[in-house]
Amino acid sequence: ETGVTQTPRHLVMGMTNKKSLKCEQHLGHNAMYWYKQSAKKPLELMFVYSLEERVENNSVPSRFSPECPNSSHLFLHLHTLQPEDSALYLCASSQSESGGEQYFGPGTRLTVT
């Protein structure tokens, strides 16, 4: 699969579990993003990374911890989540962080029980 890939596609976890979401982009882009998409707040920006440095954190609770080891990979580490964290988590990438087309991955459907 080319473009932006995400694994796993579906995840069910308990409130005490620790899991990680993975995103990989094959486009040579310099910026990567995490979005949360739920019925109440569609496409809510969580984190922005540019050249592996976090440039934006939109007041996201500390139970979400991003990691960007290189410009092609982005992780979202999850621990002690709440049921209201159940949502579709979308990763995206773009050439730079200051505007321009963003390419989205297929998303991870997360259910917290």
Partner 1 sequence: GENVEQHPSTLSVQEGDSAVIKCTYSDSASNYFPWYKQELGKRPQLIIDIRSNVGEKKDQRIAVTLNKTAKHFSLHITETQPEDSAVYFCAASPQEAGTALIFGKGTTLSVSS
Give the binding site for partner 1 (CB under 8 A).
31, 33, 41-43, 45, 48, 50, 55-56, 90, 94, 97-102, 104-107
Q: Provide the minimum distance between the beta carbon of 88 and partner 1 in the complex, in angstroms, as a whole number.
A: 9
Q: Provide the minimum distance between the beta carbon of 107 and partner 1 in the complex, in angstroms, as a whole number.
A: 6
Could you give the CA distance from residue 67 to residue 83 in angstroms, rounded to a whole number? 23
Residue type, 9: R
Q: Provide the minimum distance between the beta carbon of 104 and partner 1 in the complex, in angstroms, as a whole number.
A: 4
Q: Provide the minimum distance between the beta carbon of 80 and partner 1 in the complex, in angstroms, as a whole number.
A: 27
Identify the CA nearest to 48 among candidates 61, 63, 60.
60
Q: Is 108 helix (H, G, I), strand (E, B) or coil?
A: strand
Residue 38 or 72: which CB sits closer to partner 1?
38
Residue 91 or 112: which CB sits closer to partner 1?
91
Half-sphere exposure of 42 (CA within 13 A, CB side): 1
Residue 16 or 101: which CB sits closer to partner 1?
101
Quickly count: other Cβ atoms within 10 Å of residue 71's Cβ. Answer: 17
